[in-house]
Amino acid sequence: MTKPLTQPARIAAATIAILAFGTIALQTTINQGGETGPFAALALLFRYFTIWSNFAAGAIMALVASGKRVTPWILFALATALTQIGVVYHGVLAADHHPVGLDWWTNLMFHTVIPLATVGWWLVNSRGDGMTWRSLPLVMIAPVIYTLFALIYGELTGFYAYFFLDLPTLGWSQLALNIMGLAAFFMLLGAALLGIRRLSWRVASGSV
């Protein structure tokens, strides 16, 4: 970002950060019980890419709210990850997931409210500097790291957070196809977001 953000933009970023951290804290509290203490409950949450991305939203928006400069491609990658979370959850996973009580609330925040708020914030407040089509591969950094983590964790514990990464059930061939499909989908989402943002820049500047 080359220009200081407006006060409303920083307040909105702070609100997103509070929602993200508050929801993670609430889910951690919900998941406690028996031999599962707060630190174990929090650690277990990070088996999911959804939590990685919501935590990143909280941390990055907190930096933005404090006036720190955040590299444009990081905000772009965050917007892409959160878009993927919303699309995959509502398009693939929601039909078989029926949370109740406070879990319903945290689920809504993780998969709908925080993704929509963060992507909306990015579309309104991000700058054009440093954002080109060459930025697209950068959105894959976090998903690649998470996929490696998920597979290693699954091999060590037998727990796979998502059915499309369940190696023992799928086998290597199907897993490879799933990963390639997810990578292509991730890149398409990033391209769509970047296209929408670049068009909005042009409209705002009067060049369209």
Identify whether 90 is part of a domain.
yes
Identify whether 1 is part of a domain.
no
pLDDT at 132: 74
- Residues 44-91: pLDDT tens digits? 999 999 999 999 999 999 999 999 989 888 999 999 999 999 999 999
- Coil vs helix vs strand at 65: helix
Identify whether 143 is part of a domain.
yes
Identify whether 79 is part of a domain.
yes
d(CA 131, CA 176): 30
Identify whether 112 is part of a domain.
yes
How many domains, the chain?
Answer: 1
Identify whether 158 is part of a domain.
yes
- CA-based nearest residue to 25, from 48, 51, 50: 51
Q: Is the dihedral of CA 132, 121, 86, 77 positive or negative?
A: positive
192 lies in which domain range? 7-205
d(CA 126, CA 21): 22
User: Is pLDDT above 70 for 205?
Assistant: no
Identify whether 187 is part of a domain.
yes
Identify whether 2 is part of a domain.
no
